[in-house]
Chain A
Amino acid sequence: MLETLDRAVGGERLIGAAAIARGANGEPVLLGCKCTACQKEMVPPVSVCPVCGGEDMREAVQPDEGVLYSYTVVHVGPKRFRRPLALGYVDLDNGVRVFSHLEGDTFKIGERMKFDVAIVGRDPDETDLTGYVFRKENGQ
């Protein structure tokens, strides 16, 4: 069982905490799960498989890069997140699609993106929100 980051780091307010864990070398990794019955993988980890109902779900560290499937820059929505807010779907090399905040100024469908952890917003009580993000592999 991997240690998820919300338990590893004190004080920070984490968004998407269930999918952020500390990997073997201490760096954050994207955590998903794999169903032993239907072999489907998904993010975040869940205890029951939404595809087949199987209950034997194993933690599975996800690839830390993928390809941007689509994205948008949003000017509406929850005030706790940055505005404008870049959101996208990243297709990981293992067939899993991840919904994620994006870091960067401009984006292109089809470009390679890399996993990271960053500040994604701030609550009204001035506490920063930390979450997982994908950013361009080269540059930024």
Chain B
Amino acid sequence: MSQANIIGVGMTRFGKYPESHLADIAWPAVKSALADAGIEPGAIQAAYCGSALGGMMVGQSILARIGMTGIPITNVENACSSSSTALQQAVMAVRAGKYDTVLVIGAEKLTALGGGTLPLNEDDWEASQGMVMPALYAMRAMRYMHDYGLTREQLALVSVKNRANGAKNPDAQMQKPVTVEEVLASRPVADPFTLLQCCPTGDGAAAIIVASDKAAKKYAGKHPIRVLASDLTSGRFTPGFRDMTSPEITVRGSAEAYEEAGVGPQDINLAEVHDAFSIAELIYYEAFGFCARGEAGAFLESGASAINGKVAVNPSGGLLAKGHPVGATGAAQVVEVVRQLRGECGARQVPDAKVGLTHATGGGLAGFDHGACSIHILAR
């Protein structure tokens, strides 16, 4: 069995491109990943494309723009985990020996929806009564603050850290650093969240070239990045009481990923986690074992999750600053970790980064923590 390696990455800067077709937002990311890998388009054997809201055959419409037709293309929808699920499918295919070279795409155009909160399934019991994603995360935050004494200032500090990181990332949608005061004074969205504690809505794309050991040897001018773990799981339906301060789907997923990779939290140098709202990043510190339950606020305040800290969390700026074009997010997290592991990140470079992880989870469904969660652990 071959291992899976990543030999090329590329992305289209997250932002707002209301005048562009989704395919035109995405194809440059594909070309840049191919160029990064030094592989010719005709050598790609299959493609997996993740998009949550892009409609039918997003992969075909993107690849038709650049003459990459006639290969097997699989379109994947898994809410915020769409393109990380596409990567998981690609890794599985390479490990199984089916293909040597696979393209993964994540693409989304949220400006096509006209703004506001993400549309949830209308037949969902809670959504039909007014549940929206900010409200769900806000209730996690309220309970966490109640149980562990987290302050509004500590919560705002997540946005301050990630906006500062994003200001050093040319691919980030939000380029301006903010202060705790500015975060707390921005307009209320869902108590305790203000606007600057919610990820922006936008468009973007990212692409990844996955290769077998054989193909990696042939193409990877730059050293290949090894995929140590590629995990996908779904939420467990829980009708009764459940602890909203601990995300059961990510707790299970992280244990599976660590086991597959043969590493633990102490080995992770950087992590791109799903900070759709400020509280999320704090809860995920604990779910990944970077700190103990209830200690996330203090962990953040100590600088442990800063770029020069114990584990750099969201050095790209995360969803809060880099942006969150839903289906593109997972692939873009991988782009950042690969660039960090290669030492290409300039002002936001994590010193001596050897092992990194990505985590994309989402999908609002009544009775679930989340619908989907995909975690990857990568190493140089």
CA distance A5 to B251 in the complex (A): 41
Q: Which of A72-118 contact B (CB under 8 A)?
A: 72-78, 81, 84-85, 87-89, 91, 95-97, 99-101, 109-110
Q: A42 at interface (Cβ–Cβ under 8 A)?
A: yes
Do A77 and B130 contact each other (CB < 8 Å), given the known contacts A72-B142, A89-B139?
yes
Chain B residues with CB below 8 A from A23, complex form: none
* Complex Cα–Cα for A75 and B132 (A): 11
A69 to B243 Cα, complex, angstroms: 9
User: Contacts A40-B239, A97-B239: A70 and B135 contacting too (C-beta < 8 A)?
Assistant: no
- Asked whether any CB of chain B lies closer than 8 Å to the CB of A44, the reply is yes
**5 closest A-B pairs (Cβ-Cβ)?**
A72-B138, A42-B239, A70-B143, A70-B139, A77-B132
Complex: A75 Cα to B128 Cα, angstroms: 17
Given contacts A50-B237, A76-B116, A109-B143, contact A87 B135 (CB under 8 A): yes
Cα–Cα, bound, A13→B129 (Å): 13
Residue ID in chain B nearest A44 by CB atoms = B125
Residues of B within 8 A of A (CB): 116-117, 125-126, 128-132, 134-135, 138-143, 146, 187-192, 237, 239-242, 244, 366-367
A70 touches B244 (CB 8 A): yes
Tell me whether A101 and B129 are in contact (CB under 8 A).
yes
Are B242's CB and A74's CB within 8 A?
no
Interface contact A51-B142, CB-CB below 8 Å: no
Asked if residues A109 and B142 are in contact (CB atoms below 8 Å), the reply is yes
Could you show 5 A-B contacts with beta carbons less than 8 Å apart? A69-B244, A72-B141, A74-B130, A91-B241, A97-B240
Question: Do B134 and A76 touch (CB < 8 A)?
Answer: yes
Q: Contact at A87–B131, with CB atoms within 8 Å?
A: yes
- Residue in A50, A71, A77, A97 whose beta carbon sits within 8 Å of that of B117 in the complex: A77
A81 near B125 with CB under 8 A, answer no
Asked if residues A74 and B241 are in contact (CB atoms below 8 Å), the reply is no
Interface size bucket, A side?
35 or more
A69 to B136, CA, bound (A): 13
The answer to whether B241 and A69 touch across the interface, beta carbons within 8 angstroms, is: yes
Tally of A-B Cβ pairs under 8 angstroms: 99
Q: A16 interface residue, CB < 8 Å from B?
A: yes
5 additional A-B pairs beyond A77-B130, A96-B240, beta carbons within 8 Å, are A50-B239, A71-B142, A74-B130, A76-B190, A109-B143
Residue numbers in A under 8 Å from B367 (CB-CB): 42, 50
Chain B residues within 8 Å of A81, by CB? 130
Is A73 in contact with B140, judged by CB distance below 8 angstroms?
A: no
Q: B240, A74: Cβ atoms under 8 Å?
A: no
A96 and chain B: residue at smallest CB distance:
B240
Complex CA gap A84/B189 in Å reads 9
Say whether A99 contacts B126, CB under 8 Å: yes
Compute how far the CA of A100 lies from the CA of B129 in the bound complex, rounded to whole angstroms: 8
Is A16 in contact with B129, judged by CB distance below 8 angstroms? yes
A41, A44, A85 — most chain B CB neighbours (10 Å) = A85
CB distance from A16 to the nearest CB of B (A): 5
In the complex formed, the residue of B with least CB distance to A50 is B237
Which interface residue of B117, B131, B191 has the most chain A CB atoms within 10 A?
A: B191
Is B130 within 8 A of A101, CB to CB?
A: yes
Instruction: With A89-B139, A99-B126, A109-B146 as known contacts, state yes or no: A74 contacts B190, CB within 8 Å.
Output: yes
B151 to chain A, nearest CB (A): 16
| In the complex, chain A residues 1-46 whose Cβ is within 8 Å of any chain B Cβ | 15-16, 40-42, 44
B237–A51 touching, CB < 8 Å: yes
Q: Is the CB of A97 within 8 A of B242?
A: yes
Say whether, besides A72-B191, A73-B190, A88 and B239 are in contact (CB < 8 Å).
Answer: no
Chain B minimum-CB-distance residue to A87: B135
Assess whether A72 is in contact with B190, with CB atoms less than 8 Å apart.
yes
* Cβ of A18 to closest chain B Cβ, rounded Å: 8
- Min Cβ gap B226→A in Å is 39
Q: In whole angstroms, how far apart are the Cα atoms of A110 and B147 in the complex? A: 11
| Complex CA–CA separation, A25 to B187 (angstroms) | 46
CB–CB A70/B132 < 8 A: no
Cβ of B139 and Cβ of A76 under 8 Å apart? no
Q: How far is the CA of A44 from the CA of B128 in the complex (A)?
A: 12
Which residues of the partner chain B approach A87 to less than 8 Å between Cβ atoms?
130-131, 135, 139
A88, B130: Cβ atoms under 8 Å? no
CB distance from B375 to the nearest CB of A (A): 25
**Bound complex: CA of A120 vs CA of B187, how far in Å?**
24
In the bound complex, residues from chain A placing their C-beta under 8 Å from that of B187 are 75
List CB contacts (< 8 Å) of A42-67 with chain B: 42, 44, 50-51
